[in-house]
Amino acid sequence: MPTVVEPKLIAGNANRPLAEAIARRMSLYRGMSVGLVQARVERFNDQEIFVEVYENVRGEDMFIIQPTSNPANDNLMELLIMADALRRSSASRITAVIPYFGYARQDRRTKARTPITAKLVANMMVEAGIERILTMDLHAAQIQGFFDIPVDNLYASPIFAIDIKNQFADLSDVMVISPDVGGVARARELAKRINAPLSIVDKRREKPGEIAEMTVIGDVTGKRCIIVDDMCDTAGTLCKAAEVIMDHGATEVHAYISHGVMSGPAVERVSKSVLKTLVLTDTIQPTGPVSSAPNIRVLPTAPLFAQSILNIWNGTSVSSLFETDTLGPIYEGIL
């Protein structure tokens, strides 16, 4: 088997700009050109997915860059079929770089006769030949335990902390808000990084998709509040939480969200809401309306993913990138 001389990247169609940005950052870090492996990932007339890899990958350390965002089923199948193609082409190791892990909300049985789809997806990935997962801000951290292969779960909070310190000259009146009780750990992590107090919005639902009541736990009077969450889908909860926080005396409300799903009326809701800014990452490719919305900004994740891929390839620590001292130089001049 030939010696592996460099990591090789291949990308599906889910977020091609992010894959190309990761390749550019890796080229910068290594001082040599790192490109995407030439391949075609296309559909037949009946929408069956077909993959053909044009370059030799025998014995190579392969990284497939493919978030499983909308359309989730198509993008998931692209990932699985690319993994199968690489395995049958004798790649030495296949790592799936999944910036946004779809189906993560189905991580447990919420009632009788319902599936645990996140576990099913994990089984499919392993069966397809994937040997390692690199992702960001899993909706439920326990999904890492669904795999019998290594899973590296990166966090957006260090990137958010760097951006907040650059955007807010004075942090003395900043407060971090968790939009629900389940997100307290995520919000606490960011609050600790920027040395800010923490508050919680407690919400009660009459039925799925509808919020009956919201209560703010903590004093937000006179504070510039930052809501932090892992994803924004239709933005209903986010915009309602921002209104409630403003009603309780906050001076302004911002939001930092890891994954901008932004389905349906989300962009329109955010544009008309009291939110001063909504900050997303590019784990999901921003749509035209998202990119043109006046109060939405998108932060790049390519520097973090590029360095993580190099660390995995080199066999060095990925968790070291969770520290601001390590991540700061990577993002210097970017945020």
Domain ranges of the chain: 7-155+302-330, 157-299
7-155+302-330 and 157-299 in the same fold: yes
The CATH number of domain 7-155+302-330 is 2.20.28.120:
no
With bands split at pLDDT 50, 70 and 90, how would you rate the model's confidence at 210? Answer: low
The whole model's pTM is what?
0.94
Q: Which residues are catalytic?
A: 203
Q: What is the pLDDT of residues 19-71, one digit of tens each?
A: 999 999 999 999 889 999 999 999 999 999 999 999 999 999 999 999 999 99
Binding residues for ATP: 46-48, 105-106
Q: Which residues are annotated as a binding site?
A: 46-48, 105-106, 139, 180, 205, 229, 233-237
Flag whether pLDDT at 220 surpasses 50.
yes
- The CA distance from 296 to 306, in Å, is 24
β pairing state of 275-281 and 296-299 = parallel
- 5 falls in which pLDDT band (50, 70, 90)? low
Strand order in 93-98's β-sheet? Answer: 7-11, 61-65, 93-98, 132-136, 151-154
**pLDDT at 4 exceeding the cut of 60:** no
Instruction: pLDDT band for 208, please (50, 70, 90 cuts).
Output: low
**Tens digit of each residue's pLDDT (9 = 90 or more) over 134-157:** 999 999 999 999 999 999 999 999
Tell me which DSSP letter residue 210 carries: B
Neighbours of 154 (CB within 10 A): 24
Listed residue (202, 196, 206, 203) closest to 226, CA to CA: 196
Residue list for the binding site for Mg(2+): 139, 180
181 pLDDT tier (thresholds 50, 70, 90):
confident
Q: Which fold has domain 157-299?
A: Rossmann fold (3.40.50)
Asked if the model's pLDDT at residue 203 lies above 80, the reply is no
Q: Check residue 6 and give its pLDDT.
A: 81
- Res 205: pLDDT: 63
